[in-house]
Structure 1
Amino acid sequence: MNRSVRILGVPTDYGANRRGVDMGPSAIRYAGLADAIARANEQCVDDGDLSVVRAESTDPDRAPMQDRAKFLSEIQDVSERLADVVAGVCADGDLPLVLGGDHSIAIGSMAGAAREADIGVVWFDAHGDFNTPSTSPSGNVHGMPLAAALGHDEFADLPWAQASGLDPERIALVGLRNLDPPERAAIHDSPVSAYSMSDIDERGIVDVVEDAVGAASAGADGLHVSLDMDWLDPKEAPGVGTPERGGVTYREAHAALEQVASADVPTRSLEVVEVNPVLDSHNETAELACELVASALGERIL
């Protein structure tokens, strides 16, 4: 394809409850991201990192919703700037590859990708990220980005958090295995497509991801693909802040991203989040992230 993969790091941990995830972009680059992209026969340009003020120098209680949505004003600043960058990369005909940082960065990624296109979203995650400030037990915004993008509850009054025109029927969550009770109810009441690890156990990863991509692709100009590394089993990806036993295997993860690459609707934006090198072992989670990016871009064994 006549495009470049444009790498942008967003070294934030405003949305998380474990320090260290802000070093994720550096860890992924160090693990060989540029080489992985080259293996997928893609051109690569590294645009560096978005400037982010360290959380230690800010006060989470200054956020408009206080402890119900920690660091919300800081997350707004990052999200608005990230949305502008992602929208610009898409307008250039290139593919933004956003490196987290915690999953709250998806608010900006989705808003930017949706600015001039109808997008579908494929969300690989152990968690639903469907909480709102009033339902979240922690106040951590990395558990809220999908609710924010759809303008649920308190986010209805925050246009910066919303992905304009995003249709919940074009959102597919894959690999769920830990949901808060209000979040579970909200997903049940929403037209999003949601597939748990039980679905993957019963049907296999190929069938589940085929359905997920089909749902997200219907009527879409492109896909936003969000890969939270805690989607994988902690034995495969130990360097994450919220590990959950019983995740997908190494091969299942590659098979899923390979299906994304072969979808009829192209990937418009891609993000990899929640790599925490402080909790990792020999940077293996970041190395796996690089491999999965290559599969998402079309690398194959044969």
Structure 2
Amino acid sequence: MNTTPGRPPHAPTAVLIGAPTDVGAGHRGASMGPEALRVAGLQPALESHGLQVIDSGNLSGPNNPWKPPVDGYRHLPEVVLWNQAVFDAVYGELAQGRLPILLGGDHCLGLGSVSAVAKHCRETGKKLRVLWLDAHADFNTSELTPSGNVHGMPVACLCGLGPAELTGLGGHTPALRPDQIRQIGIRSVDEGEKRLVHEQGLEVFDMRFIDEHGMRHAMVQALAGLDDNTHLHVSFDVDFLDPEIAPGVGTTIPGGPTYREAQLCMEMIADSGCLGSLDIVELNPALDVRNKTAVLAVDLVESLFGKSTLMRERDRR
């Protein structure tokens, strides 16, 4: 039993995995995201909530060549190499019973991270639920997007729509069934992408839904059906947040969740007791103001691990 003072006896060990690349993005700067999160105090913040935290440093991968798309994909060889590195690192930590926290980097890295989690769940017999917190559906394909930026394609690739090098990362295609993912905060979807989302039957709690029904109702539905055998993965794109409070992202979309809506989202995820892995992606310090977006991201991640503004007892599983 772990008897470190102040740490619950069954607290998980969280491992920070930096992936400093913007190879899948349309703007440079997300490669600096991991260091900005460290500077904002992510490790001590998590440790203050009883976690043992190991910072494994940064993964290595190819430089961003900053070239135009080839056959509908920008930087596909580099994207594959980065995602393979992420896959190996996340899968390795899960195999040791640790909680991996991926520090991106752009959201194309969610491919490697979620593919690793999906493989782990298949092997251990756990159910998988993915919460995709994002302003974008990320369900584009090379036929739908002229930019070819893969950070707009990871959910489609995870559902088997994309090049084999990405859809088969975990040795199983598709890595994810559409009914295993819930998207929250969506407010920017291309027309062709919208049709594909409907065809695949993704469950999307967009900002219209949140405006009409509230964040609490959205999260109740997004978390419905979780149990003690569920592994919950959260893929947190910082552009999920309204740019008024989080300007440090490459693709700012107005009308996102407020600070309190975002806090409630994170607190309800924490209340589920099922969080098993996390991505924090698309933080772009080059576009930030005195690292305020990184500080906010750390604040919200603290809420995922037990910080609450409410003086109440949590429902412990």
The two structures have a TM-score, normalised by structure 1, of 0.92
Partner of 1:192: 202
- Write 1 or 2 for the structure with the bigger share of helix: 1
Contact 1:132–1:154 at 8 Å: present in 2 too? no
**Aligned residue-pair number:** 295
Contact 2:160–2:174 at 8 Å: present in 1 too? no
Tell me how far 1:52 sits from its aligned partner.
2.4
User: CA–CA distance in 1 between the matches of 2:182 and 2:21?
Assistant: 25
Which residue identity is paired with 1:208? Answer: A
Tell me how far 1:53 sits from its aligned partner.
2.5
Partner of 1:112: 116
Partner of 1:181: 191
Tell me how far 1:236 sits from its aligned partner.
0.6
Name the SS of the counterpart of 2:223 in structure 1: helix
Q: How do 1:5-44 and structure 2 match up within 5 A?
A: 5-44=14-53
Tell me how far 1:93 sits from its aligned partner.
1.0
The one of 277, 280, 291 aligned to 2:285: 277
User: CA–CA distance in 1 between the matches of 2:94 and 2:46?
Assistant: 18
Assess, with a 3 A threshold, how the Cα gap between structure 1 residues 165 and 23 changes in structure 2: closer, same or farther.
Answer: closer
Tell me how far 1:191 sits from its aligned partner.
2.3
Per-residue deviation, residues 253-278 of structure 1 (Å, max 9, x unmatched): 111011111115x1121011111001
Contact 2:15–2:55 at 8 Å: present in 1 too? yes
Unaligned stretches of 5+ in structure 1? none
Assess, with a 3 A threshold, how the Cα gap between structure 1 residues 153 and 273 changes in structure 2: closer, same or farther.
Answer: closer
Moved more, 86-95 or 162-171: 162-171
The one of 133, 136, 151 aligned to 2:145: 136
User: CA–CA distance in 1 between the matches of 2:227 and 2:144?
Assistant: 30
Q: How do 1:78-93 and structure 2 match up within 5 A?
A: 78-93=82-97
Tell me how far 1:195 sits from its aligned partner.
1.0
Q: Does residue 300 of structure 2 align to residue 292 of structure 1?
A: yes
Partner of 1:229: 238
User: CA–CA distance in 1 between the matches of 2:175 and 2:28?
Assistant: 34
User: CA–CA distance in 1 between the matches of 2:190 and 2:227?
Assistant: 29
User: CA–CA distance in 2 between the matches of 1:45 and 1:219?
Assistant: 25
Name the SS of the counterpart of 1:115 in structure 2: helix
Partner of 1:51: 60
Q: How do 1:84-103 and structure 2 match up within 5 A?
A: 84-103=88-107
Name the SS of the counterpart of 1:160 in structure 2: coil
The one of 151, 154, 169 aligned to 1:145: 154
What RMSD in Å do the two structures reach over aligned CA positions? 2.0
Name the SS of the counterpart of 1:8 in structure 2: strand
Which residue identity is paired with 1:180? Answer: D
Which residue identity is paired with 1:276? Answer: N
Per-residue deviation, residues 193-230 of structure 1 (Å, max 9, x unmatched): 10110111111101101111226x48963011011111
